[in-house]
Amino acid sequence: MKKELLEIPTETIQLITAEQAYSYRIVPVKSDKTSLTFKTDFNDLASLQQELQIILGSTIVLEKENSQTIDTYLQKNYRKRTSGNSSSSLNYSEDFLLNMIHEAKELGSSDIHFEVYEKQHRVRFRIDGKLLERYVISENEYPKIVNRIKIMGRLDISEKRLPQDGRINISTGKEDFDIRVSSLPTLHGEKLVLRILSKNTLTVQLENLGFTSNELDTYKIAVKKPNGIVLISGPTGSGKTTTLYATLKLLNTNDTNILTIEDPIEYTLEGVNQVQLKENIGLDFASTLRTFLRQDPDIIMVGEIRDVATANMAIRAALTGHLVLSTIHTNSAWATISRLIDMGVPPFLIASTLNVSVAQRLIRKLCTSCKTEEKLTIDVFPKGVVIPESVTTHFKANGCTECYQTGYKGRKAIYEIIPITKELVESIEKKELNISSYLKQNNIATLQDNALSLVAEGITSVDEIFSLLIS
């Protein structure tokens, strides 16, 4: 069955809970003022119709469908929560917002988007890097939900013209996590994004992130130097902060003083002195770094190098004998050099302080239960991409019960790691920024190389890495 035929409007999906859908083997396909229409493979249609009319309080129309199709409909449109407390039907109770947050957390969502348009108000979850529409909210209820979030995040509910940032702590008997709240005034009202921040750092280990053995050795050598700068680049949501925290866990010993300035503090690390950025009162990256230098630090982590003032302070810290870890927004590890030069940092200072430049991306992994192997043809890749002769097949995403018909399950990080050698120091000082031949001679894998390796190993698909190959 074509996947587009499985698409059901969110307003229709949320007429029932996921628990009801799986229990009664029903999928809503149409609703109007007088009746609800469901597809089902239930044998006793008369008793099911009667029971649903009592539960849902509406006239029920049932359409018989085969079991395989019903399974596919359910997997595509309803995700079960790990707690078994499935709820995707809309019920604006006091607990609606908290249930939604817990649902997003259990489904592995990183962000919750509350979006307002002229004729629609919706909620989307970001799962495995992709946004999934989860709810459509009525025009009357949307402002109430926004105000409740702003109150929980200690934002000013009367201020609707300016962006605001806040933080919510969710603490129950089973879990404890924080949420970063960001509000943005748009044409039709306020858009909110809730970033779910896990406090669990048990799994944050460098060995678990996706480095190859050679990359891990190279990276560890760079971060164990007593001074210098380690920069990690990549777009938002590429896992840069997770790599930084894993690095801090490696370096966090009883004889080191580690200070961090972050926005936000995503994980709490015992033994690390963490500072939350507060730009509205002047507590920004650059000014905090100046103070850090008077705190006798060994290692400093700066959440992000955003401007020349922060970059210069980071270099000053490295020159005075400290190890500085930070992130920067660039497309590749070597593009970080160009970015710093464009900011106004002198090339000789970059060359003398930078230990290693890292770029990373998160790639969705194919579901091992349903991926299918196909013969490789050149036309599936962008023009100009060189494919190793040994690669003759590739795997495609299909969709099954295990992956909710998406074809993908989980993500894996890929890296591009360039240690700054004497040869590269000379290139930086001379502003010779084309080093493709150097990378090949020294067997340094680029992001594209590692992405193609994942395709060759059957871990991901060509479609998933296509945008990376043309960047």
What pLDDT score does 381 carry? Answer: 82
What's the residue count for the chain? 471
Spatial CB neighbours of 177, under 8 Å, sequence gap ≥ 6:
105, 169, 170, 196, 197, 198, 199
The predicted-structure confidence for 140-175, as pLDDT tens digits, reads as follows 999 999 999 999 999 999 999 999 988 898 887 777
Supply the mean pLDDT for the chain.
88
Q: How distant, in Å, are the alpha carbons of 24, 26, 137, 334 from that of 55?
A: 12, 13, 22, 61
What pLDDT score does 395 carry? Answer: 93
Q: What is the value of pTM for the model shown? A: 0.82
What pLDDT score does 17 carry? Answer: 85
Spatial CB neighbours of 414, under 8 Å, sequence gap ≥ 6:
210, 360, 361, 363, 447, 450, 451, 454
Which residues of the chain are under the pLDDT cut of 50? 1, 4, 86
What pLDDT score does 90 carry? Answer: 60
Q: Is 273 in contact with 256 (CB distance < 8 Å)? A: no
Q: Is 63 in contact with 27 (CB distance < 8 Å)? A: no
CA 350 to chain centre: 30
What pLDDT score does 152 carry? Answer: 93
Identify the H or E element spanning 272: none
Q: How far apart are CA 362 and CA 467, in angstroms?
A: 12
What pLDDT score does 301 carry? Answer: 95
Q: Is 209 in contact with 216 (CB distance < 8 Å)? A: no
Phi then psi dihedrals of residue 251, to 5 deg: -90, -10
Other CB atoms within 10 Å distance of the CB of residue 426? 11
What pLDDT score does 344 carry? Answer: 92
Q: Is 365 in contact with 412 (CB distance < 8 Å)? A: yes
